[in-house]
């Protein structure tokens, strides 16, 4: 079972190579053993738009059912946050989402959800991993049943209870939504129709596509050519929400075609929730999130906590209570008034709410934040495909001894998750092995795009 390893959020692997029906059954058996050890009764299973995801979900559901659990299987593909909502809404003891989130199209994955409607915390995942190896129990259609579920309407009603509907009803403009061929297609438009909004939602890549229209389904500039081109013709406060393959992460593109990254989204949502909504609580951010979020939180008098990368660590903190918002560099942001979970659909609507309540576009709001905290944000990331994890580990070991790059003096290091070099002007450079695929990620934040480019160029040479 050494070939099955849970990463930052579940187990992910290449379809047909290691992500097979047999291995999915083995992981489902381990999860069933865990659930039964906890006295669980009901489990919910969902899936995204990837190749054969529905069939893999059905196989996992069969194994869970064969272990005596009541299994509810989604009627169709759905976003991960909706599956998490279903766990909570249907009072299930756990959940499984068959998805590889933002990974390349050849991947699929097995995400576990807790009874609270959020990512499995590290302790839960560790217990499931311990149980890997048991032979999956056989499914007998004559004795074991699979029920189907659909929670679209309850989910929409839940969001109506959380959002400032007066503000959203007052907005008569356009909101674009690029779902990248993933599970989020049509969900924001469906909410607008269900809630009776005047809002016009223009969908891009709404038809499900297992190949995600030729890009990786991650909302970053390299994968957003179409939506950035479309938004070039727009003006004013209009923006596009971009959700990843399973719609738990969010990116945005502004009128004029400029990218609005996850750090900027995090900062705008924090200020909106704390100042306009008057909500209280800590801010939890992962190790690769912008200093702007930390500086803004301190400006607002809010405690900040930093965790390793992976939303499961944020979920752990949210379950402990006292958290207002938690987020990660990859666009996964959770708000405590909702679920202890990332939700790209809910966050897109919150961003629209912030635009209406402030009377200002997202770019203008973030420029004000930069001025308030005294830090100019520029950011980029390299994903370096190196020959194997052993090579990646060697690189991380190599960079544990920092040196000046692009004329920037290193004044400290932090090794919470990977190796982060801290620069004199407040910028930073982070080297870290991906937790979901064999990639070395190199993250950089500086106070100008020219510096970011220069630092990353030298970092790439250093990696070799």
Q: What is the pLDDT of residues 210-227, one digit of tens each?
A: 999 999 999 999 999 999
Q: Which residues pair with 333 in a beta bridge?
A: 327
- Strand, helix or coil for residue 452: helix
Average pLDDT over residues 334-338: 96
Report the percent of the chain where pLDDT is more than 70. 99
Q: Is 155-373 CATH 3.40.120.10?
A: yes
Q: Give CA–CA dist 11/117, Å, rounded.
A: 18
Ranges of each domain in the chain: 6-150, 155-373, 378-463
pLDDT category at 250 given cuts 50, 70, 90 is very high
Q: Of 436, 428, 250, which Cα lies nearest the Cα of 325?
A: 250
Q: Do the domains spanning 6-150 and 378-463 agree at the CATH topology level? A: no
53-78 per-position pLDDT tens digit: 999 999 999 999 999 999 999 999 99
Picking from 267, 257, 249, the residue whose alpha carbon sits closest to that of residue 370 is 267
- Give exposure, 238-273, as e/b (b: 16+ Cβ within 10 Å): bbbbbbbbbbbbbbbbbbbbebbbbbbbbbbbbbbb
Residue 294 has pLDDT above 50, yes or no: yes
393: how many CB neighbours lie within 10 A of its CB? Answer: 13
pLDDT tens profile 98-124 = 999 999 999 999 999 999 999 998 899
For 146, how many CA atoms within 13 A lie in the half-sphere containing its CB?
A: 20
Give the chain's length: 464
Q: Does domain 378-463 have CATH number 3.30.310.50?
A: yes
Rounded to whole angstroms, how far apart are CA atoms 338 and 279? 13
pLDDT of residue 9: 81
In the predicted structure, residue 435 carries a pLDDT above the cut 80: no
For 194-301, strand residue ranges (E) read 200-204, 239-243, 250-254, 259-260, 282-286
- Amino acid 387: pLDDT: 79
Average pLDDT, stretch 320-346?
96
**pLDDT at residue 266 greater than cutoff 60:** yes
**Reported pTM:** 0.94
Q: Mean pLDDT, the chain, as a whole number?
A: 95
Each residue's pLDDT tens digit, 24-37: 999 999 999 999 99
Helix (H, G, I), strand (E, B) or coil at 304: strand
What does the pLDDT look like over 338-361, one tens digit per residue? 999 999 999 999 999 999 999 999
Question: Tens digit of pLDDT for each residue in 9-21?
Answer: 889 999 999 999 9
**Pairwise CA distance, residues 247 & 54, whole Å:** 17
Percentage of the chain exceeding pLDDT 90? 90
**Of 106-110, 396-400, 458-462, which one has max mean pLDDT?**
106-110
d(CA 362, CA 345): 17
Beta strand pairing status for 323-327 and 333-335? antiparallel
**Res 389: pLDDT:** 78
- Asked if residue 1 has pLDDT above 60, the reply is no
At residue 63, φ and ψ (nearest 5 deg) are -65, -45
Superfamily for domain range 6-150: Alpha-D-Glucose-1,6-Bisphosphate, subunit A, domain 3 (3.40.120.10)
Judged by DSSP in three states, 66 sits in helix
């Amino acid at each position: 079972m050494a070939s099955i390893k849970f990463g930052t959020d579940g187990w992910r692997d290449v379809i047909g190579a290691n992500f097979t029906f047999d291995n999915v059954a083995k992981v489902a058996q381990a999860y069933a053993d865990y659930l039964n050890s906890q006295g669980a009764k009901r489990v919910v299973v969902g899936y995204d738009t990837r190749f054969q995801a529905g069939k893999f979900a059905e196989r996992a559901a069969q194994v869970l059912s064969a272990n005596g659990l009541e299994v509810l299987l989604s009627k169709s593909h759905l976003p991960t946050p909706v599956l998490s909502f279903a766990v909570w809404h249907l009072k299930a003891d756990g959940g499984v989402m068959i998805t590889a989130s933002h990974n390349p199209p050849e991947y699929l994955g097995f995400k576990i959800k807790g009874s609270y409607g959020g990512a499995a915390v590290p302790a839960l995942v560790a217990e499931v991993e311990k149980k890997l190896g048991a032979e999956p129990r056989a499914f007998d259609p004559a004795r074991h049943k699979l029920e189907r579920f659909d929670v679209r309407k309850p989910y929409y009603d839940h969001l109506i209870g959380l959002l400032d509907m007066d503000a959203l009803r007052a907005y008569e403009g356009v909101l674009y939504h690029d779902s990248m061929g993933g599970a989020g297609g049509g969900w924001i438009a469906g909410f607008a129709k269900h809630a009776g909004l005047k809002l016009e939602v223009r969908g891009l890549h709404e038809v499900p596509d297992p190949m995600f229209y030729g890009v990786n389904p991650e909302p970053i500039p390299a994968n957003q050519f179409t939506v950035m081109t479309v938004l070039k013709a727009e003006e004013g406060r209009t923006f596009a929400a971009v959700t990843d393959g399973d719609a738990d992460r969010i990116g945005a593109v502004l009128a004029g075609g400029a990218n609005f990254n996850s750090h900027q989204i995090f900062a705008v949502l924090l200020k909106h929730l704390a100042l306009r909504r008057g909500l209280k609580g800590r801010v939890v951010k992962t190790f690769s999130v912008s200093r702007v979020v930390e500086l803004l939180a301190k400006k607002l008098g809010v405690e900040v906590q930093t965790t390793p990368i992976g939303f499961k660590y944020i979920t752990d903190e949210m379950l402990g209570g006292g958290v207002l918002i938690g987020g990660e560099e990859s666009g996964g942001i959770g708000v405590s008034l909702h679920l202890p979970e990332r939700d790209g659909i809910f966050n897109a609507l919150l961003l629209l709410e912030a635009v209406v309540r402030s009377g200002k576009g997202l770019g203008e709001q973030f420029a004000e934040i930069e001025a308030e905290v005294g830090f100019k944000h520029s950011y980029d990331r390299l994903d370096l495909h190196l020959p194997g994890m052993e090579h990646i580990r060697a690189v991380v070991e190599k960079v544990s001894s920092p040196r000046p790059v692009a004329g920037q003096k290193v004044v400290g290091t932090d090794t919470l998750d990977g190796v982060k070099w801290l620069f004199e002007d407040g910028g930073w450079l982070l080297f870290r092995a991906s937790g979901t695929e064999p990639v070395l990620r190199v993250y950089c934040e500086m106070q100008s795009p020219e510096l970011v480019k220069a630092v990353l160029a030298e970092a790439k040479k250093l990696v070799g």
